[in-house]
């Protein structure tokens, strides 16, 4: 993605993957990364803690609709 925007931060990698799947179903490309606090506290991916969900900036409006539809 050339111009990315952070959509939200969720509690863990399972929540993040569920949201990414919903975004994908809506045609929105996204990716995840450990939130700074999680990376510092845990140090290794998949070990727990907050996860950021990022989308293409051009898809941010649609991504927010998906986020609302999923109840987040």
As a whole number of angstroms, the distance between CA 11 and CA 3 comes to 24
For the stretch 19-57, pLDDT in tens is 999 999 999 999 999 887 655 555 555 557 899 999 999
Q: Give the predicted TM-score (pTM) of the model.
A: 0.81
Whole-number pLDDT of residue 54: 97
- How many structural domains does the chain have? 1
The range of the structural domain enclosing residue 53 comes to 4-69
> Taking the mean position of all CA atoms in its chain, how far away is CA 4?
11
CATH number (domain holding residue 16):
3.30.70.1530
């Amino acid at each position: 993605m050339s111009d990315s925007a952070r959509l939200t931060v969720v509690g863990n990698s399972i929540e993040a993957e569920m949201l990414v799947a919903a975004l994908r179903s809506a045609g929105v490309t996204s990716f995840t990364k450990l939130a700074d606090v999680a990376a510092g506290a845990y140090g290794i991916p998949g070990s727990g803690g907050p996860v950021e969900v990022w989308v293409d900036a051009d898809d941010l409006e649609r991504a927010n609709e998906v986020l609302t539809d999923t109840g987040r």
